[in-house]
Amino acid sequence: MANSGFQLLGYFLALGGWIGIISTTVLPQWKQSSYAGDAIIMAVGLYEGLWMSCASQSTGQVQCKIFDSLLSLDVHIQTCRALMVISVLMGFIAIIVSVVGMKCTKVGDNNPSTKSKIAISGGSLFLISGVCTLVAVSWYATQVSNHFFDPNTPINARYEFGPALFVGWAAAILMMLGGSFLCCSCVNEDSRGQQLYRQSQPSTAREYV
């Protein structure tokens, strides 16, 4: 029962992380215009994400424009796009696989050993998905930071970290924690089962003697 609860905890943590990864992928606020350096208050706030750039006016009106060309984008934006899409797809597959492998479900094979292996596979996919998100968000943040501290960058053209980056970091951590919980609970269960099997072998041999 304890392992089932541990698996459920890991599953729901990873599920929350997957929802956060989808939100991070869609949000346009990966970076936002900075007001550091000058005491100039701009009437328009600029945001940019993986798919579009937006301008928010002081009146509350927001205008967004989807990037026209994929090949004209910077390499780090194209790579982050690919990593985030892969992360979302792998997370979806991991959700299905983990449901089949968890002890508390009656889906698929009822053999405990087989279900444990399936659950470990789901947890591993969660881990890989979280790592992909972490790499994409951290790389994008590094590019924003380097551009901000570059002395050749005009002050009015500098950007800071947007809210989507923090959502992405939190989602990646949740995804990796959930995947780790799933893997650890199944590994402990397998090792305990092997130990009990080895202890039962001598008693069985004595009965036949």
What's residue 172's pLDDT?
A: 97
Q: How confident is the model at residue 39 (pLDDT cuts 50, 70, 90)?
A: very low
Residue type, 68: D
pLDDT tens per residue across span 41-71: 555 788 999 999 998 877 778 888 998 888 7
Q: Which of 69-78, 121-130, 200-209 has the highest mean pLDDT?
A: 121-130
Round to whole Å and give the CA distance between 176 and 204.
Answer: 42
Q: Which residues, listed in sequence order, are joined to residue 52 by a DSSP beta bridge?
A: 66
pLDDT surpasses 50 at 106: yes
Q: Are 147 and 153 in contact (CB under 8 A)?
A: yes
Which residue do the tokens 């002890």 mark? 103
Round to whole Å and give the CA distance between 7 and 182.
Answer: 5
When the pLDDT of each residue in the chain is averaged and rounded to a whole number, the result is 82
Domains of the chain: residue spans and CATH: 2-27+73-199 (1.20.140.150)
Q: What is the DSSP string of 51-103?
A: SEEEEEETTS-EEEEE-S-STTS-HHHHHHHHHHHHHHHHHHHHHHHHHHHST
